[in-house]
Every structure is written in structure tokens, then in C-alpha cells.
Amino acid sequence: MTYVPSPKRYETMPYRRCGNSGLQLPAVSLGLWHNFGCDTPHDTKRALCQTAFDHGITHFDLANNYGPPAGSAEEAFGEILKTDFQNYRDELIISSKAGYLMWPGPYGEMGSRKYLIASCDQSLKRMGLDYVDIFYSHRFDPETPLEETMGALDQIVRSGKALYAGISSYNSEKTKEAVAILKALGTPCLIHQPSYNILNRWVETDGLKDTLKDLGVGSIAFTPLAQGLLTDKYLNGIPEGSRMTQGKTLSEGQLPEETLTAIGALNEIASRRNQTLAQMAIAWVLRNEGITTALIGASKPSQIVDCAGAAENLTFTDDELADIDRVAGDSNINLWAASSGSDNAPPKD
Ligand SMILES: NC(=O)c1ccc[n+]([C@@H]2O[C@H](COP(=O)([O-])OP(=O)(O)OC[C@H]3O[C@@H](n4cnc5c(N)ncnc54)[C@H](OP(=O)(O)O)[C@@H]3O)[C@@H](O)[C@H]2O)c1
């Protein structure tokens, strides 16, 4: 059936300026890390993308390795671009990344010019695109000169294969270096993509959040819902079909008793704000405008509708923020800590 986007799609979603750039991003963006591989029916993927666009979510985030298998999320999105979004390319911000293992041998991961340029070409082919809007270095590579990795991003932008450059998971110190190199090359760093949520606050303790503000670089916080922990999903046990039952990136070990207690208390605070916990978790990430957009994932269209509703109330009283800090804090669930700085050694075996 031909998809016709909702004529009301721009009525409720706020768009926020990405750092000092000319680009505005929706307060909520959709990532295709999970639920866009060959293990999910194509109709579900279409419904997720259509629901997002209908609710003003104009930004879709991908990476070379999203699947499974790696590459299949970009292929699926390429199909959806053809069937549903062909007439709307200029209303969309599409991103991709390279950094994690994509193909065998020494040129299939990390931060070399060889890998980034080849990977960008492959991503464009899989999605059937002439260009992506944002291309990222997906993680810091301690064994490649930063000048080479940033030089590759600059080359990708200059060759017209991406409009903007971004970095992901780099810590504050490496971010300052990367942003300075890109500036000198004449391709400003548009955006940083770090993990960030109520249970994972490394961007605050590392100083990254302040660094990005000082440098005028925008930011897109991934896993704002802590992969689903910051929703009402796990309050009464582990539901069948949830990410925790899939044995991929979320395990029962990430939900000890104290985290479960914290989630219950957060759920009560959210109810007092007339929000779902997912909505409050997204609003918390977006508070004070320190973060440009919250990058969610979803397995059902109804989750996207719920998350988009966060935009209705993005402000907190000091008492609410203090209540949140009293019941929950950093819970040691940052799976991407090793991708941030010098200790990000590539696997040796
Ligand atoms: N740069 C990087 O290194 C990196 C790393 C990871 C992710 N990312 C990006 O960030 C995106 C989001 O990551 P994520 O999927 O982990 O984000 P998330 O938003 O923290 O978690 C998404 C999961 O939460 C659950 N959920 C979402 N909305 C819900 C709602 N309203 N009510 C109840 N449950 C809800 C769903 O779980 P169920 O599936 O169980 O239903 C969904 O799959 C990725 O797609 C990717 O684009 C980037």
C-alpha cells in the first residue's frame, strides 16, 4: 500500500539547533541498531519508520554494522526509502557510521582512512543513496593518528558523500583534539553521539557535556532509555520478546535488585509528572538543552508514539530533578566506555 505521510507531522515535534550549525534536529530521533535486521519482519520495519516520520521524527540513525547480519539494517532502510520515502529525501536526516568490525582483515574496522572511505561507499550502496547527511567515526581508535581519521571524515564531506561529520563515544579530551583537527581542515564537527541516560551519566563526570557546549558542537544521546530499562517494561518481570530475552546487548545482569528499585521509584516520579517513565527519561536527557536530540530505538510503533510524546513536557522543577538524583544514579551500565579513549585497544586475536 502506498504510504502517505501525515500532513500533521510537523505540528508537535520541537526541532533544536545542533550546536552552532545551521541544522535543526527533532527532539527525538530513531536509531536502527536493533529490530532492523533479518530477524524482524520487513512490515514491522516499515511501520516503525512510517510512524516515526508521521510524528515529526525526521532523523534516522544507522551504521555499517547494524543488523543482524551486519549491513542488513542499511539494506532494509534502503528498501523503505524506495517504497515509502522516495519523495521525502529532502525532509530526512540520515546518518551512518564506521568504526566497529564490518569485514574480515585489517581494513574492516577501527579508524583508518582506508576503512572509513570504503565503508562509507558500501553504506551508500546498501541504502541506494548518493549521500548521507551525517557520517561518523563510530569509536576512537588509539592506534590510528587522529589526523588520519578526521582527514577521512573531511574527505568524505568534501567528496559530497556526506554533508556533515560526526564522532561517537570519544571522551572529552579526544573530542577536543578531534574537533580542533576538523576545524583546521575546514570541516566543522557537527555532532557527537554519546551514550547518556539517568542510569549512565559518564558525559557529565567526564566533562564531555560541558566540552560540547563550549565548542558549539551538537549532541545526540543514544540509549536514552537504557535499552528499555528506563520504561515500565521490566517493573513486573521480563516480558517475552523484550530485548532482555534476546541475549544480544541487554542481559539480566544489567538489572540488579537496586536498579529495579530505582526504576520503580522513577516510575512514580514520572506518574506525578503525568508522563510515562520512557517520556520522563527522554525529557531528562534533553533538559537544559545541553543535548540536541534523544536517539531512541523501538520494537513497536506504539513505543515511538509514546516516546514522541515526551516533547510535550521537557521541563523539570528543581525538586523533581533532586528526587530523580535521590532515587537513581550512574549504575555502571556503559557498554561503550572502552570506545572512548586511549584504552580502546582493538581485539588482538
Ligand atoms: N554510537 C554508538 O556506539 C551506539 C551504540 C548503541 C546505540 N546507538 C544508537 O542509539 C539508538 C538507540 O539505542 P537503543 O535502541 O538501545 O535505545 P533505547 O531507546 O535506550 O532502547 C530502545 C528499547 O527500549 C524499549 N522501548 C522503547 N520505547 C519504549 C516505550 N515507549 N515503552 C516501553 N519500552 C520502550 C524497546 O525495547 P524492546 O525492544 O524490548 O521492546 C526498545 O527496543 C540505536 O538504534 C543506534 O542508532 C549508537
Residue 205 burial (C-beta neighbours within 10 Å; 0-12, 13-18, 19+): exposed
348: pLDDT strictly greater than 90: no
| Inter-CA distances, 255 with 46, 85, 334, Å | 31, 38, 13
What is the residue with the minimal CA distance to atom 8 of ligand 1? 222
Q: Quick one: which atom of ligand 1 is closest to the CA of 279?
A: 31
- For the entire predicted model, the pTM comes to 0.97
DSSP state of 313: -
Q: Report whether residue 297 contacts ligand 1, using a CB cutoff of 6 Å.
A: yes
**Ligand 1 centroid to residue 183 C-alpha, Å:** 32
For residue 221, tell me if it sits in a domain. yes
Q: Is the Cβ atom of 223 under 6 angstroms away from ligand 1?
A: yes
Counted domains in the chain: 1
Q: Are 68 and 33 in contact (CB under 8 A)?
A: no
- Cβ(303) to ligand 1 under 6 A? yes
Please give the distance, rounded to the nearest whole angstrom, from the Cα atom of residue 151 to the centre of ligand 1.
31
199 pLDDT band, cuts 50/70/90, is very high
Q: Is residue 8 part of a domain?
A: no
Residue 163 falls within a domain, yes or no?
A: yes
SS3 41: coil
Could you tell me whether strands 189-193 and 24-26 are parallel, antiparallel, or unpaired per DSSP bridges? unpaired
Do the bridges between strand 93-98 and strand 15-17 make them parallel or antiparallel, or are there none, so unpaired? unpaired
129-188 residue pLDDT tens: 999 999 999 999 999 999 999 999 999 999 999 999 999 999 999 999 999 999 999 999
The residue segments making up the domain with residue 102 are 26-339
Residue 3 placed within a domain: no
Q: How far is the CA of 245 from the centre of ligand 1 (A)?
A: 14
* Angle between helices 277-286 and 301-308 in degrees, nearest 10: 50
CATH number of the domain that 57 lies in?
Answer: 3.20.20.100
Cα 155 to ligand 1 centre (Å): 31
CA distance 56 to 77: 18
Asked whether the predicted pLDDT for residue 313 surpasses 60, the reply is: yes
Is residue 300's pLDDT more than 60? yes
pLDDT greater than 80 at residue 342: no
Ligand 1 atom closest to 99 (CA): 3
- Does residue 243 lie in a domain region? yes
Instruction: Tell me the C-alpha distance between 232 and 267, whole Å.
Output: 7
Mean pLDDT of 88-112: 98
Q: Supply the pLDDT for residue 349.
A: 35
pLDDT for 347 beyond 80: no
Look at residue 266 and tell me if it is in a domain: yes
- Domain annotation covers residue 18: no
Which atom of ligand 1 approaches the CA of 239 most closely? 40
Instruction: Look at residue 347 and tell me if it is in a domain.
Output: no
Contact 179, 215 (CB under 8 A): yes
Instruction: Give rounded-to-5 percent helix, strand, coil for the chain.
Output: 40, 15, 45
- Quote the pLDDT of residue 346: 46
CA of 193 to the centre of ligand 1 (A): 14
Amino acid at 51: T
Residue with CA closest to ligand 1 atom 28: 303
pLDDT band, very low/low/confident/very high, at 289 (cuts 50, 70, 90): confident
Distance 297 CA to ligand 1 centre (A): 3
CA distances to 38, 83, 238, 337 from 69, in Å: 7, 22, 26, 24
